[in-house]
Structure 1
Amino acid sequence: MGNLIGVAISPHPPIILKEIGGGEERKAQKTIEGLNKIAEIVLENKPEVIICITPHGNVFSDGICILNDEYATGNLKSFGHPEISMEKAIDIDFNDYLIDALQEEEIPSVFLDENIAKEYNLKVELDHGVIVPLSFIDKKYNNYKILHITIGMLKHLELYRIGKLIGDTIMLSDKQAMVLVSGDLSHCLTKESPYSYNPEGRAFDNTIVSIMEDQRFEELLNINSESYTAAAECGLKPIIMGLGTLDGYSTTTEVFSYEGPFGVGYMNTFIKANKKDKVSILKKHTNEKRDIYDLKKRTENIYVALARASIEEWVKKGKCLDWEVYKEIILPTDALEELEKQRAGAFVSIHNNGNLRGCIGTFYPAQENLADEIINNAVDAASEDSRFYPIRRNELEDLEIKVDVLGELQPICDIEDLDVKKYGVVVVSKDKQGILLPDIEGVTTPQQQVNIAKEKAGILQNDEVKLYRFEVIRYQ
């Protein structure tokens, strides 16, 4: 059985390296001392593997990235010092454990080796978020392998869940492991900051330091986006993932240092893992989330409920929802009659965390009734939209769904007959046709609406087109 020693949280400013700072590093003396204390802890515990979590590697919007070659190198060329370089052995055995765990939980992840890197036009390399803190650690102890994990732009609870999975994988391995979280706090503390000064930056940093000191880790999951966006930080997501590895542990925490030289907040902290005898924060939040989801399902209108049930049936069982079976659980309503007897085109739009995850529909009815139209288009939106990978099981509770039932297409002679809030538009040129629904965020003019519909259909902007407008009934 493996052992999690604890989680170290450190900043990563290259300027604190003497070769780069040229004396300026002395302005961050507390930070240097804090990193040296973390290095002493590493020396004392002699981990076999250090799991590095960074915000500055290959960042994907929808998943994490893990380097998966036997060795990875990197340098500080982008900071004017290519001679400051590092090579580290990757713990491929641990990566193999983690691949199995992530795949089993359907967590999107890229295990990046040279072949995959070429496909994505990326590099298998260490970034400064890892190089800087490991430079201090290596002066004390360097007999270890690493994992190099770059966060994704995921929800905080999802990052925490991934962290817990990493922690569980440590226990399944035979490794003595330590987690190294790399992240700076606010980048807008003063007028000399890299970003414009914002007083919210100092407030954010004070909150983070206070949470660390008092071990109120759960509060990090509830920090509002306005706060961390205003702070212009790069540490919150890595910290949350790192803390996920400690889920269920009692801990002992020491904040070694915090300061804000150069207008950027730097914090050094070590959280020791003690016994695994605490209530799981993840389990608590997962249960709360499921309760909210169940309430949503009980209260949403029939059209959205039908689309959601269709998506769930497909994702969980790989088959289309049977309308004849499903309708038996619906109380008699006018909507039920409309779903059974009306024929109409319909679009199903799926969002996750405000981001589009799929949208497919039909201009004209293609099924025997509106119910089957929604069922088929919901499945296609979840699995066939070429812009996105198919919806995964662990996303289902996060999905926001809209159903648009289309009215008849009306030919129009002039673009002025459009109203982006009221009407959708269909553009037709020879064998090409494109559609855009009404009331789309960011679309403010009829010309913009037509241009987007043309682009979606591969119609050149100067090509002659026929225009049609339509109204929708939107259910959400």
Structure 2
Amino acid sequence: MSYLETMKGWIMLMLFVGLIGAGLWNESKLPQARLPELSDTDKRFLLSLARRQLESVITTGRGITVDRGSIPENVQVPAACFVTLNENGMLRGCILDSFTPHEPMYKNVMRNVVLAATSDPRFPPVRPAELPKIEIEISVLDRPKPLSFSGPDDLLRKLHPGVDGVILKTRTGSSTYLPQVWETFPDPVDFLSSLCEKQGADPNCWRSDPPPTVEIYHVIHFSESDLGDER
């Protein structure tokens, strides 16, 4: 079985057990998680690892082998890592396989960079010719936490634009935006309305009765351009 076939099998398993998508987990089984300490050296290691993995899988169909002795200690802890690919400043693919940390951070980055390139249903798989134009972004997540609110106005007051990643669960489905998306929707009303539309619901679904379930999380976010793009 090829590496890409293995990755496709993994994403189908995640869809089956309900780990992909916002908020689909058993909270009692989640580890207590918070944002890790990551130095610039750690971040560069993860970005370089993601780049090498991406280029190897797209050009040869095989993943890379990592020398365990070269892996910084900070990136060996379990973590959930959202990987985003941008091409010429436009989204080219993004995936988080699970909000639940289930493997070391560096392995999750390696997994999700491949899934972002090959399994985002909105885009065709990345082609070798596109690789020089693609920038990799990594967001390391902490554990999502329920947000209590008394109504729509209270929800608006309790959100922190630019800081909170938001998971919105309604009768229609669930959707999530990373904190970086506040740059596109700085107004909380627009942010929540877009989250509703993302899951195929009415833009005002966040005002519904009964109210939706909302969870927030935070990230450490970094990209190749942030750290000088040492390719």
Please classify the TM superposition score into its range, dividing by the shorter chain length.
0.5 to 0.7
Aligned equivalent of 1:436? 177
Aligned equivalent of 1:201? none
Say which of 369, 373, 385 aligns to 2:104: 369
TM-score norm. by structure 1 comes to: 0.34
Native 8 Å contact 2:47 2:136 kept in 1:
yes
Tell which has more relative contact order, 1 or 2 (C-alpha 8 A, sep 6+): 2
Aligned equivalent of 2:201? 459
Aligned CA RMSD, in angstroms, stands at 2.4
Instruction: Select the structure that is richer in strand.
Output: 1
Say which of 344, 347, 350 aligns to 2:79: 344
Distance of 1:419 and 1:307 partners within structure 2? 30
Distance of 1:416 and 1:467 partners within structure 2? 13
Native 8 Å contact 2:118 2:124 kept in 1:
yes
Deviations 1:114-158 (A, max 9, x none): xxxxxxxxxxxxxxxxxxxxxxxxxxxxxxxxxxxxxxxxxxxxx
1:388/1:459 CA distance change after superposition, 3 Å:
same
Shift of 1:396: 1.0
Distance of 2:106 and 2:215 partners within structure 1? 25
Aligned equivalent of 2:49? 306
Aligned equivalent of 1:469? 216
Shift of 1:428: 1.0
Write the letter of the residue equivalent to 2:62: K
Distance of 2:115 and 2:86 partners within structure 1? 14
Shift of 1:327: 3.6
Superposed, 1:403-422 pairs within 5 Å as 403-412=138-147, 413=149, 414-422=155-163
Number of aligned residues: 171
1:393/1:368 CA distance change after superposition, 3 Å:
same
Aligned equivalent of 1:98? none
Shift of 1:430: 4.3
Distance of 2:184 and 2:199 partners within structure 1? 19
Identity %: 26
1:429/1:469 CA distance change after superposition, 3 Å:
same
Shift of 1:368: 2.0
List runs of 5+ in structure 2 lacking aligned partners. 1-40, 150-154, 224-231
Aligned equivalent of 1:291? none
SS at match of 2:179: coil
Say which of 54, 66, 71 aligns to 1:326: 66
SS at match of 1:387: coil
1:301/1:381 CA distance change after superposition, 3 Å:
same
Write the letter of the residue equivalent to 2:54: I
Native 8 Å contact 1:425 1:449 kept in 2:
no
List runs of 5+ in structure 1 lacking aligned partners. 1-297
Native 8 Å contact 1:307 1:403 kept in 2:
no
TM-score norm. by structure 2 comes to: 0.66
